[in-house]
Amino acid sequence: MPIVVSSLNYTYMPGSTQEYKALTDISLTVRDGEFLGIIGHTGSGKSTFVQHLNGLIQPTSGTVSVDGFQMADKKQRIKGRALVGMVFQYPEYQLFEETVEKDIAFGPRNRGLSDKEISERVRESMELVGLQHETFREKSPFELSGGEKRRAALAGIIAMRPKYLVLDEPMAGLDPKGRKDILNTIRLLKKRTKCGIIMVSHSMDDIASEADRIAVFNGGRLERIGTPGEVFADSEALLKMGLDIPQVSRLALELRQRGVEVPEGLFKLEDMKDFLLRRLRRV
Ligand SMILES: Nc1ncnc2c1ncn2[C@@H]1O[C@H](COP(=O)(O)OP(=O)(O)O)[C@@H](O)[C@H]1O
Ligand SMILES: [Mg+2]
């Protein structure tokens, strides 16, 4: 069953002088096992939106249901929330235990799982994030590099075996190696589990290569939603919204301006390479 968001509106501090309408009339469905990328300018409401998916904030109006559980209802929210793993921006600030292993075990322990089950989950999630169990389990989270800290935090969420994983700018502030490690983890997770992934990101190249569908937020509204092919086919609209586009789309635009007939919906490096090679052979 999916996550269904229906006519969602959200206003910060209603009735005060600082009242701010952050989300307007958002309706969308996150399908089982899909990778939904969320893009949009800073301040477009992406973080506000994803915090509704595990009931952390409640709509001012409209509804959110997770696999049929209504998130407005206190009892149902507990069940719905258990299905949604939430990785906030800079999750490493939430590491607090004395060892990496204890930190990752924290959530499963709180759920009352057996020691055997907990240690299996710790191993499994450390492997998924690429932190070798023997090397890292006894380390203090504070001894780790920035990228390792973030992967440890991610492992703590994965250990809860969520059905949906929400990642709010998971690569922000990391160096290229750190970014690649996180992206590899997300890829591996997608391959090994049936976890649905909802990822907010500014990296159009990552979103273009990973997402099944992309939701574009603009000024608190859902401007469009579709496959990467559909969304990046109108690269000019994205540029007008002040958004970046994948490097390949940028190249496609430039080639078109120079009179080369580049097919629509070409946004992946591999596809562009094939197209250019075919064309060069013709000349
Ligand atoms: N706690 C808050 N109180 C008041 N306004 C907020 C709060 N959090 C975010 N906002 C405002 O809501 C808008 C959307 O913010 P946010 O959801 O964080 O956007 P994004 O994640 O796309 O950058 C912004 O204009 C922001 O200033
Ligand atoms: Mg944000």
Name the closest-CA residue to atom 20, ligand 1: 43
Residue 12 in contact with ligand 1 by CB distance below 6 A: yes
Q: What is the pLDDT of residue 18?
A: 94
Q: What is the pLDDT of residue 282?
A: 80
Q: What is the pLDDT of residue 233?
A: 87
Which chain residues have CB less than 5 Å from ligand 2, an ion? Answer: 47
Residue 39 in contact with ligand 1 by CB distance below 6 A: no
Which token pair is 192? Answer: 């090994």
Residue 22 in contact with ligand 1 by CB distance below 6 A: yes
Which residues of the chain are modeled with pLDDT < 50? none
Q: Distance, CA 23 to ligand 2 centroid (Å)?
A: 13
Q: What is the pLDDT of residue 264?
A: 82
Q: What is the pLDDT of residue 160?
A: 96
Which token pair is 142? Answer: 């504070």
Residue closest to 12 by CA, chosen among 44, 56, 57, 54: 57
Contact between 199 and 223 (Cβ < 8 Å)? no
Contact between 38 and 197 (Cβ < 8 Å)? no
Ligand nearest to the CA of 17: 1
Ligand nearest to the CA of 220: 1
Q: What is the pLDDT of residue 140?
A: 96
- CATH superfamily of this structure's domain 3-228: P-loop containing nucleotide triphosphate hydrolases (3.40.50.300)
Domain ranges for the chain, please list them: 3-228
d(CA 217, CA 39): 6
Residue 106 in contact with ligand 1 by CB distance below 6 A: no
Query: Cα angle at 34 between 29 and 38, to 5 degrees?
Result: 65
Question: What are 184-228's pLDDT values in tens digits?
Answer: 999 999 999 889 999 999 999 889 989 999 999 999 999 999 999
Residue 46 in contact with ligand 1 by CB distance below 6 A: yes
